[in-house]
Every structure is written in C-alpha cells, then in structure tokens.
Amino acid sequence: MVSGLGKFYRFSKARWLIGISGWLLSIPAQAVTQEIRAVYVPDPANPQNNTFLNQTPQSGYCGDYPNDCKPLSGVRLPLRFASVQAVEPGASERNGAMFKMPAQWRSLLVTHVFTGETATVEMRIGGFGSQYVLSDTAVNLTGAADDSQAHYKLWGSSWGIAPLPCRAGAMATFGPDFYRFFWRTPVDAVCAKQAAFAIPWMSYGYLDVAYELRMPDPLQMSAGLYSGELTYGVGPGQDIDTGDNMLPDGSAVTFSFVLDVQHVLKVDIPPGGHKVALVPQGGWQAWLQQGRKPSRLFRDQTFNISSSSRFKMFFECQYSGTESCGLRDAVGGTTDAQVFMSVSLPDSITDSAGQPVRRRPLTSSPDAAAFQPAQFLDRAPGTLHFEIPRDYVEQMLQPGQAKRYVGDVTVIWDSEV
C-alpha cells in the first residue's frame, strides 16, 4: 500500500519595525515610517505570473491619479517643510525652492521572520509632489491680476511645468496662496525654481512619494513572512534634500517592507492509487503457463501536483530501508523482497542542477535533493515508479509455493526545504 502526503505552509505573523530619529535645530525631529506590504499567491488562471502583488494602499497624487502615476505607486507622507528665512529673488539654488530625490535603485534585504532566509528588494523614488503654501496670496506678493498669472509671475514659470531634469505630472491645482504639483524624477539631480519676488515665508504641507520596486522571485523563496527596512535621510545634504532654507520636521523616512509568500504544494492521487500491485511486464501468464520467471515486478502510479515552491521527496517504510522498502511474506513472515522507488516530474520542475527529473531514485533521507518549479504548476502530471528487480524476484517466486508480499510505503512531498 502506498500513500501520498503533501504539505502546505502559510505563515501569518508580521513584525513591525519602528525607527527613532535624532534632533534638528533643537526640535525633536520625528522619523516617518511607511509600511510597504506585498503578497505572492499562486494564480491557477495565470501560472506564469510569478510576481508579488503590492497591497499597499495608494494615497496622495498617485491615489488621486493612479493612471498618470503608472508604472509608479505612491503614498502621502506626513512630512512638512518650512522656510527658516524669506525666499529672496535671485537667491542661490539651496536657498530657494529646490528638490533632490533618491531616483537611483537601492537594495535592501528582507528576512524570513522564522528561518532567517533572506531575499533582495530594490526600490527607487521615481516621483514626488506636494503643495506649497505662501505667507500671503500670490496676487498680493506679485500684484498680478489673478491667481493663475500671480503664481506664474512669482516664479517666472508655472509649477505645472517641472524644471529639468524633472518632468511634470499631468495634473496640477492652485488657489490664492497654494499650488499643488507633482514631478517625476528620472535621475538623481536637483530640480529647482527661483523666486522672482520676495516670499516672507512658505511651506510644503506634505510629501507625496512615488516609488518603483524590483521584487525577488517568489518561487525561490520559502513560504512565510519576510521583513526589512530601507531608510532615506531627510534634510540638507541627505537623500531627500530640499535645500538649506526649506527644512523638514523629520530627519528620516523609513520604508518598512512586509512580504507574504503563500506557496501551494498539493498532490492528488487518483482513486485507488493508494493500493499498488506490482506485476510483471505483460502479466503473470508466462510464469503460470511456462514457469518462466519475470525479470522484474513493477507499477507506474500517476499523480497530479500543484506546486509553486521548492520541495523534497522521500519515503518512509513500514519495514525499514534506506534505498528501498522491505516487503514481508504475509504467510511466512520473512522480509526477503525490496521495492525501489523513483519519480518522474513535469518538464518545468528541475533538480538543483537545473536538470529534468526522470526516474530519479528516492531514498528515506529527509535531506534529499530539492526540486524547483520554474513556474506555478496546477495539477501537472507526474509518475511514481515502483520496482522489484530480478534478484529479489528470484527469491520471491518458488515453484509450488504461493506467497503474498505486503508492506506500507509513505511517499512524502515536503515543502520545508
């Protein structure tokens, strides 16, 4: 009798990590933490889509205009900037309105919360936005006739047109004393506006951040939760730099990642497949009628496997064995027969060397070599091969002696690699 056992693992505990910042200008500067949560769940309708799904709710500009934000995702951060002195006409770049964002890819490690296994995530800031607020209306500051002309005249250009190398988003709005904007950041470089009139005081009320991710291959990861952090410094000369005049109320932005890998490993044995009868090629007629012993006894048992993760295969015997399992004579009680097992797996599953799995011998060792699917498989066919070779058949079959050999074998598909 042969039975199959598939294992399914899913972890459900998350780790929350909170950063603490230092001080800025003798005022407590709070660090902003933003969670980025993504999940991988195999999709039988789209098995080749082996990617994480970002579950972080979009907010800010990307939440309001997701199509304009694509392929970026975005969040609004409670980070405020305010001038420490008037913005003067002709002021240097660092004393005016300037932005420098970390547009290049940066890496971080996410770690399995139980096993310590790691994977690499990459992130870049591909855009940002905010709303500037003036100490007075733009009309009063410039003497222009209306709000639209006043904001344009105040800076000599519209904030709906980004200074190079930044590029503006499609949507911008304004009122008497504010202007909402969004700029893309294709490279790490300063994007700046120079005031044409004195501005006694101004602020940015928040920071919208649009980001892009490169995620690891979930098929190479064990099931469970992974966590990690990426911190950007905020302030003059830091990763997020708005110059020496527009200073932030926070010293850092920490992105706290939680990746949830939900693998599937399921094996279906056809009805009756748990009972395996080993027979000669062509049946027993040659032995019964001519006394010709068969060269081997065998049976190929098909199964269907659904898998998105690495797994091992090994067996456990009712009658102990390492490379094979013993079968016992139900009458005489002797264990003089051995059944050997091997497996053939679907084409898209390979061994650790990248080779196809064809009649790969199985053993009783839980440290057996792992098999790796190249994509999520949904009920793909495989075969277990059972065989008693000639040497044992010779001992089992004796003229005039009826014997029946039995034994239980448990075949284990184990995703705990």
* In the chain, where the domains are located: 8-261, 265-414
50 near 38, Cβ under 8 Å?
Answer: no
* CA–CA distance, 287 with 299 (Å, rounded to integer): 18
Extract the tokens encoding 126. 């591909």
- The confidence score (pLDDT) of residue 292 equals 67
Least confident of 287-291, 364-368, 390-394: 287-291
Question: At residue 344, what are phi and psi to the nearest 5 degrees?
Answer: -120, 130
**pTM, 2 dp:** 0.81
Q: How does residue 367 score in pLDDT terms, banded at 50, 70 and 90?
A: confident
Model confidence band, residue 282 (pLDDT cutoffs 50, 70, 90):
confident
Q: Report the percentage of the chain scoring pLDDT > 90.
A: 75
Q: Is pLDDT of 402 > 90?
A: no
Instruction: Write the pLDDT tens digit of every residue in 302-333.
Output: 999 999 999 999 999 998 778 999 999 887 77
Find the length of the chain.
Answer: 417
Q: What pLDDT score does 246 carry?
A: 97
**Residues 168/177, Cβ–Cβ less than 8 Å:** no
pLDDT band for position 15 (cuts 50, 70, 90): very low
Q: Report in angstroms the alpha-carbon separations of 143 from 149, 157, 247.
A: 10, 16, 28
Sole residue written with tokens 């709005």: 173
Tens digit of each residue's pLDDT (9 = 90 or more) over 379-397: 999 999 999 998 888 888 7
CB 243 within 8 A of CB 94: yes
The C-alpha atoms of residue 85 and residue 282 are separated, in whole angstroms, by 96
Q: Distance (Å, rounded) from C-alpha 165 to C-alpha 367?
A: 55
The pLDDT value given to residue 45: 84
Query: Which secondary-structure segment (H or E) carries 254?
Result: strand 252-261
Give the mean pLDDT of the chain.
88
The answer on pLDDT for 6 being more than 50 is no
SS3 300: strand
What is residue 25's predicted lDDT score, i.e. its pLDDT?
35
Strands 202-204 and 73-77: unpaired
pLDDT at residue number 399: 66
| CA pair distance 296, 136, nearest whole angstrom | 95
Contact 184, 210 (CB under 8 A): yes
Backbone angles phi, psi at 153, to 5 degrees: -65, -35
Closest-CA residue to 280 (of 300, 260, 259, 294): 294
Do residues 197 and 156 lie in contact, with contact meaning Cβ atoms separated by under 8 Å? Answer: no
Checking if the pLDDT of 338 tops 90, the result is yes
> Strands of 349-350's sheet, edge to edge?
2-6, 409-414, 311-317, 370-373, 349-350
Tell me whether residue 79 is exposed, middle or buried, using C-beta atoms within 10 angstroms of its C-beta: 0 to 12, 13 to 18, 19 or more. buried
Closest CA relative to residue 207, chosen from 74, 95, 83: 74
Please name the fold of domain 265-414. Immunoglobulin-like (2.60.40)
